[in-house]
Structure 1
Amino acid sequence: MPSALIRLAPFAIVFIVFGLSGFGAHAQTVRPEAVATGLENPWGLAFLPNGRFLVTERAGRLRVVEANGQVGAPLAGLPAIDAGGQGGLHDVITDTDFAVNRRFYFCFAEPATSGGGNSTAMARATLSADNTRLDDVRVIFSQKPKFSSSAHFGCRIVEARKEGKPDGTLLLTLGDRYSRMQDAQKLDNHHGKVIRVGKDGTVPKDNPFVGRAGALPEIWSYGHRNMQGAAVAPDGTYWTHEHGPQGGDEINLPQPGRNYGWPVVTFGENYGGGKVGEGLTVKAGMEPPLHYWEPSIAPSGMAFLTSDKYGKSWQGNLFVGSLKFGYLNRIELSEPFKGRVVREHKLLEGGERIRDVRQGPDGLLYVLTDSPRGRLLRLQPG
């Protein structure tokens, strides 16, 4: 089986092993089954009771997809959304107690009310009983400062867990807005950060920068570029991935108060060549990535597989979509749900951009393909 050794971080040796047809060891296959079609650049996916789905479209629409694949009309009640470029309506998750409160959370590009500009914002809402509108909509976080940009919004939401149980807070990834990348190293703004807030938008007292002069209290970690994937392992460990510049996409495990280096250190380079920042890959006081890709795969979406629907060898694997190369990446770890990356496998190599991946209540994987005629796919064991 051929293998390729990628450029090495000094703290780890990582082999990417691909077998024939893009698969490595344990060559289980999957059979994509179209659940719904005709979605315009779908971005985020959440699961509703009775086999329904909640799907965002980047253009600024939120839809319920029925269990039979019927795509509903856009839901009424969304706030103003600045849709353009990379911005629009992005991620969505349902509350742990959705069956009782019908509450969910979503993030989007929020236009300024005056003076121009936009930023990533997160809101909560209640889905009406007839699945046609949003009620009780409230923005619970708004990235500061607003800035005129159509790039690097980040915008993945997860519910944080402690000792394996939800702790009542939300973690949200925020991009550096591209031309404001130097802000990622400063604590007086939300660019290039992970933030943590309560479900009502309040700041948890145990956030790492609470009470620190000149630092925004919502910040959880900093020194990030553009994170479009996030997941929580069963043990509560928080995982993210982010787009590098040219090369250097990363997987990180953001810890409270830690600095992840962008744009001072990176395994990538400027578009067209040339060093970024100090031209270093590691530096004291800055956390190295768990894993990086060179060349970039343009990752989006992230999920752990906890079920055994695809066999025991897949249980505990990490799944990440590739926008650039159009495949779903199955990532084997040295231990289930933890450890280092030991092997990667390409699935669904059909050229479709994979925007999101989630494990459904049935234990199967679901993906969204990013195109003007995007699809919601269910992955059946092959």
Structure 2
Amino acid sequence: MALPKTFMVSAVLAAFVIHPAAQAESINAGGRTANPTLPFTAQAIAEFNTPWAIGFLPDGRLLVTEKPGRIFLVTQGGQKAEVGNVPDVAASGQNGLLDIAVAPDFATSSRVYFTYVEPGRGGSRLVLSRATLSVSDSSVTLADRVAIWRQTPAVGGGQPGGIIAFDPQGSHLFLTVGDRMQPASAQDPSQARGKVLRLNLDGSTPADNPHAAKGGVLGQTWTTGHRNPYGLAFAPDGRLWLHEMGPRGGDELNLIEAGRNYGWPLVSNGDNYSGSPIPDHDTRLEFTAPAVYWTPVISPAGLTFYAGALFPQWRGSALVGALSAQSLVRVSFRSDGQPDEAERWSMGGRIRDVAVAPDGAIWVIEDRNPGRLLRLTPANRRAG
């Protein structure tokens, strides 16, 4: 599928290097088994009520969201301070308070971005908000909070997406939007469902988006045809990767490139929950196939790329949390850019998010109440 001319001429998007080989084959990693022998030590730092996302501040403190509607500022030692001025959320099923991301210029702006499902007439909607994290000796609060993007129209259902990623230049924001359990909407260009959006940091539409001139949802759309995307991150080489949950089978890891259509619900490497088949990606070559898929599913949630010092052998790898597989998954990349699952470790619980601290430690959270915040360091590392 040819890339839009807007993409080809934009200097801003030069970091998105295209590696055709990365889409040359779809590898099914679903049959892999988890290793019970862990190469890391997991230290429980704190507990939360159904935690959903981790965001690291430059000084090593963490912001942790709870799906029912709270945010905490957490020290490396586990001290928790609840953050004030959090909006009301529609917390039920898969919906609630979702992702949180620290702005690229946080050191000077103190800004954070977060997503949540908002209650309202006609149904709930996904919202992206921005605020200034105000920290004093006595309180932590979201100051100057403003919603910079709202899903329109409002709609019920789960599968909200809501994952935030900033481009390597720190000048644009990417946002995943799930299909809200209305599969056909993922192929409707007028609906902000089943899409990856590209926005300016104030929520407006970048002029060099593929269809910016058409305005509306289409103007903000970067890619389409997604089901339930709960992972979005840039690799060290500047490429953008997304994972999404399939139905019965067909969890996907996709290389995200401007203007592409990833096929849901017209194609999938899984089947409908009813058991009825869905055509595979190789039957419709106009749709971009996943680089890796998982059948049986792992239910991926959380995605980060490792570039730290504590696990040097994993630099450049993607780390993926797995809910139903109750695992942490490492994805490595061949010299031609093709990814594949390299290792899977049994964590004994549903892993909702994974993040890397400034010191190179890996942090994960469990999807339960109470859900533990765990710090992972090399198993053979000596204390002190």
The one of 372, 375, 380 aligned to 2:377: 380
Aligned to 1:205: 207
Correspondence for 1:42: 51
How has the CA–CA distance of structure 1 residues 13 and 43 changed in structure 2, closer, same or farther, with 3 Å as cutoff?
closer
2:119 is matched with which residue: 98, 104, 111? 111
Q: What secondary structure does 1:109 align onto?
A: strand
Within-5 A mapping of 1:51-90: 51-72=60-81, 74-90=82-98
Task: Report what 1:158 is aligned to.
Answer: 165
C-alpha distance in structure 2 between counterparts of 1:237 and 1:75, whole Å: 33
1:315 and 2:312 aligned: no
Tell me, yes or no, if structure 1 residue 12 matches structure 2 residue 25: yes
Residue by residue, what CA displacement relative to the aligned partner does 1:165-212 show, whole Å, maximum 9, x if unpaired?
32x11000000011x110111111111000111111111001111123
8 Å contact from structure 1 (residues 120, 142) kept in 2: yes
Q: CA deviation at 1:215?
A: 5.6
Cα pair 2:28 2:292 within 8 Å, conserved: no
**Cα RMSD (Å) of the superposition?**
2.3
1:375 shift after superposition: 1.2
State which of 347, 352, 370 in structure 1 corresponds to 2:349. 352
Distance 2:59 2:308 in 1: 19
Displacement of 1:58 in angstroms is 0.2
How far did 1:129 drift? 2.6
Is 2:339 aligned against 1:341?
A: yes
Q: Using the alignment, how far apart are the partners of 1:316 and 1:147 within structure 2?
A: 38
| Contact persistence 1:16–1:344 (CA under 8 A) | no
Counterpart of 2:287, as a letter, is M
Q: CA deviation at 1:71?
A: 1.9
Output the CA distance in 1 between the equivalents of 2:151 and 2:301.
Answer: 21
The structure showing larger relative contact order (alpha-carbon pairs under 8 Å, at least 6 residues apart) is: 2
Following superposition of structure 1 onto structure 2, how do residues 95-174 of structure 1 map, counting pairs within 5 Å? 95-112=103-120, 115-130=121-136, 131-149=139-157, 151-161=158-168, 165-166=169-170, 168-174=171-177
Give the deviation of 1:16 after TM superposition.
4.7
**Aligned AA for 1:361?**
P
Q: Following the alignment from structure 1 to structure 2, what is the Cα–Cα distance between the partners of residues 213 and 17?
A: 39
Q: Which residue identity lines up with residue 265 of structure 2 in the other structure? A: P
Q: For residue 264 of structure 1, what is the aligned residue in structure 2?
A: 266
C-alpha distance in structure 2 between counterparts of 1:352 and 1:22, whole Å: 14
Give matches, 1:20-39, under 5 Å.
22=35, 29-37=39-47, 39=48
- Count of residues in Structure 1 that have an aligned counterpart in Structure 2: 356
- Which structure shows the bigger proportion of residues in helix conformation? 2
1:169 & 1:20 partners in 2: Cα distance? 38
Which amino acid letter does the alignment assign opposite residue 154 of structure 1?
G
- Report the counterpart of residue 365 of structure 1 in structure 2: 362
Question: Deviation of residue 119 (structure 1)?
Answer: 1.5
1:254-287: CA deviation from partner (whole Å, max 9, x where unpaired): 11111000000100001141113x5654413211
Q: Name the residue aligned to 1:6.
A: none
Match of 1:4 in 2: none
Q: Which SS does the other structure have where 1:75 is aligned?
A: strand
CA distance 1:13–1:200, shift in 2 (3 Å): closer
Matches of 2:116 and 2:30 in 1, distance apart? 37
Q: Which amino acid aligns with 2:160?
A: F
Q: Do the aligned partners of residues 216 and 14 (structure 1) sit closer, same or farther apart at CA in structure 2, a change above 3 Å counting? A: closer
Q: How many Å separate the matches in 1 of 2:32 and 2:309?
A: 22
How many angstroms apart in 2 are the aligned matches of 1:317 and 1:158? 17
Identity among equivalent pairs (%):
38
Q: Any unmatched runs of 5+ in structure 2?
A: 1-22, 380-384
